[in-house]
Structure 1
Amino acid sequence: MKKFDIRKIRIRKVSVDELDDRMLLINLYATQAFTFIIGIIWVLFQHQNIIRLFSIPKELAFLWWGIGLAAAVIAVDLLIARWVPDEANDDGGVNDRIFRSRPVWHIALISFVVAVCEELLFRGAVQQAIGPYWTSIIFAAIHVRYLKHWIPTGLVFSISYGLGWIYIQSGSLWAAIIAHFLIDFIMGLIIRFRRES
């Protein structure tokens, strides 16, 4: 049996165009699993009750907070797409690669997994420690593919702050999860069914 030599491992920067579809999905789901695990650990270190954090409130106000924020974000994003040149709004083609050829059920699954994992970490854990403003700065920095252009960076920061705000107003993590899911799902559908000009 051949011995494994850790010194032979080489790390290099890879662009999204170099990844095949399988590796792109593995990267996406592995990143979300890592985010979820860090979120759970952080929540437990804060002595929060994870079951209470994910409990669904009896009143439906949290639902309207999530739907309302998602509608506002999608409206703003569509206006930006209409009036701002594509090169100022470019994410390096990542979203296009993720959503362009996916079936609708897979777009929904990806959107749900991302919403739950990221909201657990950022709203459920990080925001509890440092508040919505600094959480939004970290959230924008984590979405590194947008940092080359100020418009998408500002939009990601604003969305994150909005998610933090509706979490505080509604008192439910589900408000932020619903908003995050709807934003990603609807934007994924727009990418999937967009006609090329």
Structure 2
Amino acid sequence: MKKFDIKNIKIRKVSVDELDDRMLLMNLYLTQVLTLIIGLAWIFFQGRNPFSLLAVPEGSAFLYWGFGLAAAVVAVDLILSRWIPEEAADDGGVNERLFRRRPVWHILVISFIVAVCEEMLFRGALQHAFGPYWTSILFAAIHVRYLRHWIPTGLVFSISYALGWIYIQTDTLWAPIAAHFAIDMVMGLIIRFRRET
């Protein structure tokens, strides 16, 4: 039987172009599972019940906050995309690869999973500990593919801060989840159905 030797593990930087579709999806889902596990553990160690954060609130006001923020974010993004050169908003082709040939149902699934997992960690756990400002810095930092350009980094920070703000205003995690879901879904659908120029 061959012995496992940890010294033989080699880590190298891989570009998105080197990943096939299956590996890209596995990477996405694995990072979301890890995000959710870290978020749930952090909330648990804060002495809070992570499942109470997912209690659906009475009324639909949280949806107005969430979808209202999403509409504002999408509008700002579409307006900025008219004046900002494409290379200044480049994410290394990750979003293009994730959404361009994906069926609509899968875009919805990806958007929902990402929204729940990331909001559980960032708004549910980290914002409780550090507040919306520092949480937004961490949120922007983990979206490393945007860090090469200041405009998308600033947008990701601003969106995160707005997600934190509506969480405070509504006192339910479902408002930022709804906003995050709608933003990712609409942007994914735009990429999916955009005509090549």
Specify the TM-score bucket, using the shorter chain as the normaliser.
Answer: over 0.9
Q: For the residues of structure 1 that align with 2:69 and 2:127, how far apart are their CA atoms? A: 18
TM-score by length of 1: 0.98
Instruction: For 1:163, give the aligned amino acid.
Output: L
Give a deviation string over 1:117-164, Cα, whole Å, max 9, x none: 000000000000000001001100110110111110010000000000
Aligned length, in residue pairs: 197
1:126-165 maps to which residues of 2 (within 5 A)?
Answer: 126-165=126-165
Paired position in structure 1 for 2:29: 29
Q: Distance in 2 between matches of 1:32 and 1:97?
A: 17
Structure 2 CA distance for aligned equivalents of residues 141 and 51 of structure 1: 27
Match of 1:73 in 2: 73
The letter of the residue matching 2:38 is: I
Find the counterpart in structure 2 of residue 41 from structure 1: 41
State how far apart, in whole Å, the 2-side matches of 1:35 and 1:67 are.
23
Shift of 1:60: 1.2
Runs of 4+ in 1 over 6 A off after TM superposition: none
Question: What is the distance in 1 between the residues matched to 2:39 and 2:96?
Answer: 27
Give the CA deviation at 1:72.
Answer: 0.2
Worse-superposed segment, 118-127 or 7-16 = 7-16
Q: Do structure 1's residue 84 and structure 2's residue 84 form an aligned pair?
A: yes
Q: Which amino acid aligns with 1:31?
A: T
- Give TM-score scaled by structure 2 length: 0.98
Q: Map 1:5-24 to 2 at 5 A.
A: 5-24=5-24
**Unaligned regions of 5+ residues in structure 2, if any?**
none
Which runs of 5 or more structure 1 residues have no equivalent in the other structure? none
Farther off after superposition, 33-42 or 76-85: 76-85
Shift of 1:22: 0.7
**Alpha-carbon deviations, 1:88-123, whole Å to 9, x = none?**
111110000110110001000000000000000000
In the TM superposition, 1:56-67 aligns within 5 A as 56-67=56-67
How far apart, in 2, do the equivalents of 1:101 and 1:31 lie? 21
